[in-house]
Amino acid sequence: PGDVVLDLSNMTNHTIKLGGGLRQDCDVISVMKAGTLRFSKPNKYWVENSQKRYVPHAEDSVLGIVVDSRSDNFLVDIKGPAIAFLPVLAFEGGTRRNIPKFEIGTLLYVRVVKANPGMNPELSCTDASGKAAEFGALKDGYMFECTTGLSRMLLSSPTCPVLDALGKKLSFEIAVGLNGRVWVNAASPPTTIIVANAIMNSETLSGAQQRIMVEKLLQKIQ
């Protein structure tokens, strides 16, 4: 924290986007928390670290739990400092006539649309183009909580070793939220448990160690 990572006075005619962990003071971009500086094309920078508390950022995909419903919004817990709200019209083709009904406790895969300090985050069940894409309610399956660092590892490209090794031998669905929640669903409960345990055990392991751990888990069930 405090390190200067970018000097904008040397970057004329450049537009950059700042993610979590960075702040701008005049022409200087400095670090606010310890972690790894990341960059994604074309122009986004952020600091990545592993923590249990989630700080919402726009365009994050997260797993939320419905805690209440109002006439205009669903109130959703996304593990952040404040409850988020999901407008009843924030669905593909959403109109007043086809408002979805979610019971309290429903697990949703949603996108963070707005996340300003001091305000409740706003969510959507559509991608940036207004399509439902993969967003919506997650039925059945098993959800567990982990650190934000493990979530980012699972979403990394190329596919992280633990998911690659599991996917070659087992059939399952998975949804990973950047807020440190993971949902797994498989045809049989034992498969779901094995996938969940392998993921939870993988955070501190190297790629090679993850593959060995998955092989040992799979040998126990054969």
Encoded amino acid at 18, one letter = L
Does 121 reside within a domain?
Answer: yes
Q: Tokens representing 209?
A: 């160690």
Same domain, 38 and 82: no
CATH number of 175's domain: 3.30.1370.10
Same domain, 76 and 133: yes
Q: Give the pLDDT band (50/70/90) at residue 106.
A: very high
Same domain, 168 and 111: no
Nearest to 84 by CA among 173, 200, 182, 177: 177
Residues recorded for the chain: 222
Q: Give the pLDDT band (50/70/90) at residue 222.
A: low
| Domain boundary residue, one of 81, 107, 137 | 137
What is the per-residue pLDDT across 154-164, written as a single tens digit (0 to 9) for each? 998 888 999 99
Same domain, 65 and 97: yes
String of DSSP letters for the chain? ---EEEEGGG-TT---EE-TTEEEETTEEEE-SSSEEEEETTTEEEEE---SS----TT-EEEEEEEEE-SSEEEEE-SSSS-EEEETT-STT--GGG-----TT-EEEEEEEE--TTS--EEESS-TTS--TT-EE--SSEEEE--HHHHHHHT-SSPPHHHHHHHHH--EEEEEETTTEEEEEESSHHHHHHHHHHHHH-TTS-HHHHHHHHHHHHHHH-
Same domain, 129 and 147: no
Phi, psi of 150 (to 5 degrees): -65, -40
pLDDT at 162: 94
Same domain, 10 and 35: yes
Q: Tokens representing 27?
A: 């022409």
| Domain boundary residue, one of 80, 114, 137 | 137
Q: Tokens representing 221?
A: 């069930």
Overall number of domains in the chain = 3
What is the per-residue pLDDT across 112-164, written as a single tens digit (0 to 9) for each? 999 888 889 999 999 888 888 889 999 999 999 998 889 988 998 888 999 99
Q: Tokens representing 185?
A: 């669903």
Encoded amino acid at 68, one letter = D
What is the per-residue pLDDT across 11-51, written as a single tens digit (0 to 9) for each? 777 778 887 788 888 888 888 877 778 777 777 887 776 66
| Domain boundary residue, one of 137, 168, 192 | 137
Does 53 reside within a domain?
Answer: no
Does 199 reside within a domain?
Answer: yes
Same domain, 98 and 158: no
Q: Tokens representing 191?
A: 């498969």
Does 55 reside within a domain?
Answer: no
Q: How far apart are CA 35 and CA 28, in angstroms?
A: 18
**What is the domain range of residue 75?**
60-137
Q: What is the dihedral sign for C-alpha 185, 153, 203, 64?
A: negative
Q: Tokens representing 106?
A: 């429903």
